[in-house]
Structure 1
Amino acid sequence: MNNQSDTFPILETNRVILRRIEKDDAPDIFKYLSDDEVMKHYGTKPFQTVDEAIKAISRYESLFHEKRGIRWGITLKGDHQVIGSCVFYNMVSEHFRADIGFVLSKDFWGQGIAQEAVKAVIKYGFEHLNINRIEAVIEPPNIASQKLVEKLGFLKEGLLRSYEYFDGKFDDLYMYSLLKSDFPSDESKI
Structure 2
Amino acid sequence: MIDETYFKHFPTLESERLLLRKLELTDAPEIQSIRSDERVMKYMDSERQSTVGQSERFISMKLKMYQENTGIFWAIIEKSTNTFIGDFSFFKMDHKNSRTEIGYTSKPEFWGKGYMQEAMTSIFNFGFDKLNLHNLEANINPGNDKSRAILTKMGFQKEAYFRENYYYDGKYLDSEIYSLLSSDFKTDNTKAELRT
What interval of TM-score do these two structures reach, taking the shorter chain for normalisation?
A: over 0.9
Determine which of 119, 123, 135 is the counterpart of 2:125.
123
Higher helix share goes to which structure?
Answer: 1
8 Å CA contact 2:17–2:80 kept in 1: the answer is no
* Aligned position for 1:67: 69
**Which 4+ runs in 1 deviate beyond 4 A?**
none
Counterpart residue identity of residue 7, structure 1: H
- Mapped pair 1:55 → 2:57: yes
Shift of 1:128: 1.4
Give aligned pairs, total: 188
3-state secondary structure, aligned to 1:94: coil
Partner residue in 1 for 2:158: 156
Q: State the partner residue of 1:27.
A: 29
Q: Name the aligned partner's letter for residue 120 of structure 2.
A: V
Match of 2:75, as an amino acid? G
Displacement after TM superposition at 1:93 (Å): 1.1
Q: How far is 1:79 from its partner? A: 3.5
Cα deviation for residue 159 of structure 1 reads 0.2
- The two structures have a TM-score, normalised by structure 2, of 0.91
Letter in 1 for 2:161: L
Letter in 2 for 1:150: T
Which whole-Å deviations, capped at 9, do the CAs of 1:129-167 have from their partners, x for residues lacking one? 111011111111100010001011001112022232111
1:183 and 2:174 matched: no
Query: Which residue, out of 16, 19, 30, partners 2:18?
Result: 16
SS in 2 for 1:24: helix
Partner Cα distance (1:43, 1:88) in 2: 18
Q: Distance in 2 between matches of 1:63 and 1:10?
A: 17
Note the C-alpha offset of 1:2: 2.2
Measure the CA separation in 1 of the matches of 2:97 and 2:106.
29
Write the deviation string for residues 69-120 of structure 1: whole angstroms up to 9, x where unpaired. 1010111013334221111011111111111111111111111111111221
- d(CA) in 2 for partners of 1:84 and 1:164? 25
String of CA shifts for 1:24-82, please: whole Å, max 9, x gaps.
11111111111111111112121110101111110111011100010101110133342
Q: Is the 8 A contact 1:102 1:118 kept in 2?
A: no
Contact preservation (8 Å) 2:73, 2:88: yes
Partner-residue secondary structure (3-state), 1:160: strand
Q: Quick one: which of 127, 134, 137 aligns to 1:135?
A: 137
Deviation of the 1:7 alpha carbon: 0.7
Distance (whole Å) between structure 2 residues aligned to residue 173 and residue 61 of structure 1: 27
RMSD of Structure 2 on Structure 1 (CA): 1.3
Alignment of 1:77-116 (within 5 A): 77-116=79-118
**Corresponding residue number in structure 1 for 2:193:** none
